[in-house]
Amino acid sequence: LTFRLKILGANSAAPAFNRNQTSQVLQAGSVNFLIDCGEGTQLRIAKSGVKINKIDHILISHLHGDHFFGLVGLLSTMHLFGRDKALNIYCPSPLQEIIDLQFKYSDTRLNFPVNYLFTDKTNDDLIFENKEITVNKFLLDHSIFCTGFLFREKPGKRKIIPGKIPAGLSIPDMLKLKEGLDITNDEGEVIYKNSEYTFSPKKPISYAYCSDTKYDESIIDIIQGVDLLYHEATFGNDMSDRATETFHSTAQQAAEIAKKANAGKLLIGHYSVRYRELAPLLEEARNIFPNSDLAIEGETYDLEIKTVDA
Amino acid sequence: LTFRLKILGANSAAPAFNRNQTSQVLQAGSVNFLIDCGEGTQLRIAKSGVKINKIDHILISHLHGDHFFGLVGLLSTMHLFGRDKALNIYCPSPLQEIIDLQFKYSDTRLNFPVNYLFTDKTNDDLIFENKEITVNKFLLDHSIFCTGFLFREKPGKRKIIPGKIPAGLSIPDMLKLKEGLDITNDEGEVIYKNSEYTFSPKKPISYAYCSDTKYDESIIDIIQGVDLLYHEATFGNDMSDRATETFHSTAQQAAEIAKKANAGKLLIGHYSVRYRELAPLLEEARNIFPNSDLAIEGETYDLEIKTVDA
C-alpha cells in the first residue's frame, strides 16, 4: 500500500500570491479521499491528474468557507460529467442543509446518491474502514466545531522469524501465526506465543490532518507516531496572541505538536494572506522539528513504506 | 462616459478548456457592476485589475450555480480585506437565504452591510439609476426565473443648432432648451419647440446582457438599438432541439436576436463544455449577423461613444 498526498491548496481564508484555500487529495491504495474543498477545488483536482469521478469520499473538517465553498460546484460538475455511483461526504451536519438549499433553488436533482455521514463530538472514532485502511476523526480546538482526520494502514500479515519455525507446525497453525494469533493446544494452553515466533514485516503507514486548530496537546496521544502530520500554521510566532485569539496555531506550535507526537515528518499549511514569503514560517518550524516542510499547492508527498527486518 | 466590459468567464455549467463560468464586470463611468459570479470569480476579478472593494453593485441573473457559486467566497474576501461600505446585490430573493445560511454556520458577521434588492417578475423596470446611467432588468425565458440587464447612458445635454439661436433668447431659456424643454410664453403656449432648435450631440451608449435564455423575440423591443448585446449561445445550431429543451440558445439564434434588435455588435458566450473550439459557433453567428464576436475570458470590450453632428 502507498499513501500519496496531493496538496490542492494550502492558504487560509482567501486566495493570495497564487495560493488557494485548503484542499488535499489523499490516495490511500485505490481509494481517493478529498480532504476539505475550498472554492475552485475542482479546477485544482483537474490539474492534479485525479479524475473527479474517481473520488468517492469527501471529508470536510469544518464549516468555514475556505474549507467547503468549492463543494457545491464540485458536486455540480460530478453530475454534469455523468456520475452515477454514490458519493460519501463526512462532515458537520449543517453542510447537507447548505448544499440541499442551493440545489433546491437551482432545481437540480443530482444523478447520483450522496450519503452524508455526519461528524459528531465523539473523539477519535472510526469513520471509514476497508480491507487496507482505517480513518478516524478526532476533535480539534477551533472557533467552530472542527475535526481532524487520521488515516492508518492496517497492519499486514506477520512473518515467521527465520529459523524459528517449530518442527511439525501444521499449515493451519502457520496461517494462524501469520494472522497474529497464538497457537493453543486442546486444553487451551498457549504452546506457541505469536510474538515469540513472528514479526511484522512493515510499519503500517499513517497520515494525520489537522486543518484549523489552536495549539492543543490533547491530540498528541491520538496522532502519536504518525508518519506524516499536516498541521495548520496560520501565523508566525510573533503573532502567537493573534493565533490564540482566532483559534489558530503558529509554525512553532505546529512543530511542537509534531515533536511531542514523534511524527515522522511535518507539513505546515493554512498560511495567512499576510505572508507573501513562507520561508520564515518554515524556519521557525524547523528550529523545533527539523523534518518540517511547507505544504505547497500542486506538490505531491509520498509516504514511504518502512520495511522492518526481523 | 465610457462603458468598458471585462469578461471574467464565459463558459456554461462547468469549467473546461481553461474557460470558467459566467461573470463580467461592466465599468460604466465610475461605477463597477459585477454581472453574475460563477465559482472562482474573485480570482478573475483580481487578474482583471479591478479592485474587489471598488465593486458596489452585483447583479445576479438567476440561481443556477454557474452564475452565483462564487458570490459567497467573494463576500468573504471583501470582508477579510476590510470592506466597510455597503454592497448592493440585485438578485432573485432566495439568494439571500443561501448566503445567510452559510454565514450563519460559519459564525461570520460581515463588517459591511449588504442590501439585497430582489428582482421580480415585472418586465423592463428600472433597478438602478445615478446621474449618468440607468439599469433596467427584463425577463428571460429560462428553466428557472432569470433576468437580463440593460445598461443605458442617460442622454446628455442637448446643443442649440448652430445659426438657430433665437434673437433675444434669455440665458434661463437657453439652459431650458439645453435640458430638452420647450420654451413657453406666459399663456403656456410653446414659442420655441425644443426639437426645432436643438440636437443631441451624442447617441447614449447602451449594453444588454442576456445570460441564459431560449430564443425569445419578446426581448427585441426592450433591447432595440443597443450598442452591444451579450447573448448566450450555449450550442451550435445542430443542437437546436437540445437548446430548446434546456431553455438555451444556439449561436444562430443569438445572431437572429441581434439582427432583429438592430444591435451595434453581438458578443456570444455561455459555451457548452462540449465545445473545445469556438470558431464554428462564431461563424454560425456571423452568417446571420456579421458584427459578432466571441466573449473571451480576460478580454475587454470598450463601447465607443458616437458623436452626432447637427
Note the pLDDT of residue A310: 54
Residue type at B18 in one-letter notation = N
Measure the CA–CA gap between B135 and B117, rounded to whole angstroms.
13
Interface contact flag, A73 B39, Cβ < 8 Å: yes
Q: What are phi and psi of B118, to 5 degrees?
A: -80, 135
- Minimal CA separation from B227 to chain A, in Å: 31
Residues of A in contact with B98 (CB under 8 A): 101-102, 105
Chain mean position to CA B110 = 27
Note the pLDDT of residue B155: 86
SS (H, E, C) chain B: CCEEEEEEECECCCCECCECECEEEEEECCEEEEEEECCCHHHHHHHHCCCHHHEEEEECCCCCHHHCCCHHHHHHHHHHCCCCCCEEEEECCHHHHHHHHHHHHCCCCCCCCEEEEECCCCCCEEEEECCCEEEEEEECCCCCCCEEEEEEECCCCCEECCCCCCCCCCHHHHHHHHCCCCEECCCCCEEECHHHHEECCEECCEEEEECCCCCCHHHHHHHCCCCEEEEECCECHHHHHHHHHCCCCEHHHHHHHHHHCCCCEEEEECECCCCCCCHHHHHHHHHHCCCEEECCCCCEEEECCEECCC
Task: Name which of A63, A77, A101 is nearest B14 (Cβ-Cβ).
Answer: A77
Note the pLDDT of residue B203: 82
pLDDT band at A307 (very low <50, low <70, confident <90, very high): low
**Active-site annotation holder among A36, A56, A66, A212:** A66
Task: Name which of B13, B95, B102 is nearest A98 (Cβ-Cβ).
Answer: B102
For residue B130, list its beta bridge partners: none
Chain mean position to CA A151 = 5
Interface contact flag, B102 A39, Cβ < 8 Å: no
Residues of A in contact with B271 (CB under 8 A): none
Cell numbers that stand for B157 in this block = 445635454
pLDDT mean over B140-158:
94
Chain A interface disruption, residue of B69, B80, B145, B247, most A CBs within 10 A: B69
pLDDT for A38-96, tens place per residue?
999 999 999 999 999 999 999 999 999 999 999 999 999 999 999 999 999 999 999 99
Interface contact flag, A106 B63, Cβ < 8 Å: yes
pLDDT for B39-88, tens place per residue?
999 999 999 999 999 999 999 999 999 999 999 999 999 999 999 999 99
Interface contact flag, B15 A107, Cβ < 8 Å: no
Note the pLDDT of residue A203: 82
Chain B interface disruption, residue of A69, A75, A109, A271, most B CBs within 10 A: A69
Note the pLDDT of residue A213: 98
Residues of A in contact with B118 (CB under 8 A): none
A28-32, A38-42, A181-185: least confident range: A181-185
Residues of A in contact with B14 (CB under 8 A): 42, 76-77, 80-81
Residue of A nearest to B43 (CA): A15
pTM of this structure: 0.90
Task: Name which of B72, B80, B144 is nearest A106 (Cβ-Cβ).
Answer: B144
Task: Name which of B14, B70, B77 is nearest A14 (Cβ-Cβ).
Answer: B77
pLDDT mean over A276-299:
97
Asked whether the beta carbons of B67 and B21 are under 8 A apart, the reply is yes
Q: Is A66 a catalytic residue?
A: yes
Asked whether the beta carbons of B183 and B191 are under 8 A apart, the reply is yes
Q: Is A177 left (phi over 0), alpha (psi -120 to 50) or beta?
A: alpha
- Minimal CA separation from A276 to chain B, in Å: 15
Q: Which of B82, B6, B86 is nearest to B49 (CA)?
A: B6
Measure the CA–CA gap between B155 and A184, rounded to whole angstroms.
99
Considering only CA atoms, give the Rg of chain B.
Answer: 22
Measure the CA–CA gap between A67 and A161, rounded to whole angstroms.
47
Query: What ipTM was predicted for this assembly?
Result: 0.89
- Minimal CA separation from A103 to chain B, in Å: 8
Asked whether the beta carbons of A54 and A87 are under 8 A apart, the reply is no
Interface contact flag, B81 A14, Cβ < 8 Å: yes
Across chain A, mean pLDDT equals 94
- Minimal CA separation from B69 to chain A, in Å: 7
pLDDT band at B142 (very low <50, low <70, confident <90, very high): very high
B12-21, B156-165, B209-218, B293-302: least confident range: B156-165
Cell numbers that stand for A304 in this block = 514511504
pLDDT for B241-296, tens place per residue?
999 999 999 999 999 999 999 999 999 999 999 999 999 999 999 999 999 999 99
- Tell whether the model's pLDDT for residue A228 goes beyond 80: yes
The total number of residues written for chain B in this structure: 310
Residues of B in contact with A15 (CB under 8 A): 42-43, 46, 77
Residues 6 or more apart whose CB falls under 8 angstroms from that of B188 comprise none
Mode of pairing for the β-strands spanning B306-307 and B202-203: antiparallel
Residues of A in CB contact (< 8 Å) with B are: 13-15, 39-40, 42-43, 46, 63-66, 69-70, 72-73, 76-77, 80-81, 92, 94-95, 97-98, 101-102, 105-108, 143-144, 273
Note the pLDDT of residue B132: 92
Q: Which of B72, B61, B130, B127 is nearest to B96 (CA)?
A: B72
Interface contact flag, A14 B106, Cβ < 8 Å: no
Measure the CA–CA gap between B17 and B10, rounded to whole angstroms.
12
Burial of A172 (0-12, 13-18, 19+ CB in 10 A): exposed
pLDDT mean over A176-180:
88
The total number of residues written for chain A in this structure: 310
Residue type at A75 in one-letter notation = L
Chain B interface disruption, residue of A12, A77, A143, most B CBs within 10 A: A77
- Tell whether the model's pLDDT for residue A304 goes beyond 80: no
SS (H, E, C) chain A: CCEEEEEEECECCCCECCECECEEEEEECCEEEEEEECCCHHHHHHHHCCCHHHEEEEECCCCCHHHCCCHHHHHHHHHHCCCCCCEEEEECCHHHHHHHHHHHHCCCCCCCCEEEEECCCCCCEEEEECCCEEEEEEECCCCCCCEEEEEEECCCCCEECCCCCCCCCCHHHHHHHHCCCCEECCCCCEEECHHHHEECCEECCEEEEECCCCCCHHHHHHHCCCCEEEEECCECHHHHHHHHHCCCCEHHHHHHHHHHCCCCEEEEECECCCCCCCHHHHHHHHHHCCCEEECCCCCEEEECCEECCC
- Tell whether the model's pLDDT for residue A234 goes beyond 90: yes
pLDDT for A261-273, tens place per residue?
999 999 999 999 9
